[in-house]
Amino acid sequence: MLKYILILLILAAIGGAVFIRFAPSDPEVWHVDPQVSADQDLAQGVRRRIPGGEERMAELDRIILSTPRTELLAGSVEEGRITYITRSKWMGFPDYTTIQQDGDVIELYARLRFGQSDMGVNKARVEGWLNELGPQG
């Protein structure tokens, strides 16, 4: 009996991992206004506002797309809003980042999909992107 329970637990773990890696990402859910009114560090992610116009947003787009395991979900620089999916290396957990042009400000909202806390992963990723982007000048 213990053998069957162990097999069921292993199958459930494998099924969960497969679901996490291959769960569809609906742009209607994730490609939304980031609504960033101030910089915030959250348990599920991070919000940032940085100075910059379309040229700076295009450079940020290039930086984000060069990040390993990151792909475009929806949007473009021309549209003024872009959403990306970045997956963790081992389990493939998806994190979503939306950047949006709001006048002379770029809003960023990076957040997890599964779980209660991202353990600072989104904050570290966003800070790395902003460091690479450098100050506006």
The two tokens of residue 10 are 């292993």
CATH label, 26-133, candidates 3.30.230.10, 2.60.40.2550, 3.30.310.80, 3.40.50.300: 3.30.310.80
CB 123 within 8 A of CB 46: yes
Strands laid side by side in the 94-102 sheet: 40-42, 45-51, 105-112, 94-102, 81-87, 70-76
- What is the reported pLDDT for 137? 59
- As a whole-number percent, the residues of the chain with pLDDT over 90 amount to 75
pLDDT of residue 87: 95
**Average pLDDT for 4-9:** 91
Q: How many CB atoms lie within 10 A of CB 17?
A: 14
pLDDT of residue 31: 96
Q: What percent of the chain has pLDDT over 70?
A: 99
Does residue 94 register a pLDDT over 70? Answer: yes
pLDDT digits (tens, 9 = 90+) for 38-76: 999 999 999 999 998 999 999 999 999 999 999 999 999
- Residue ranges of domains in the chain: 26-133
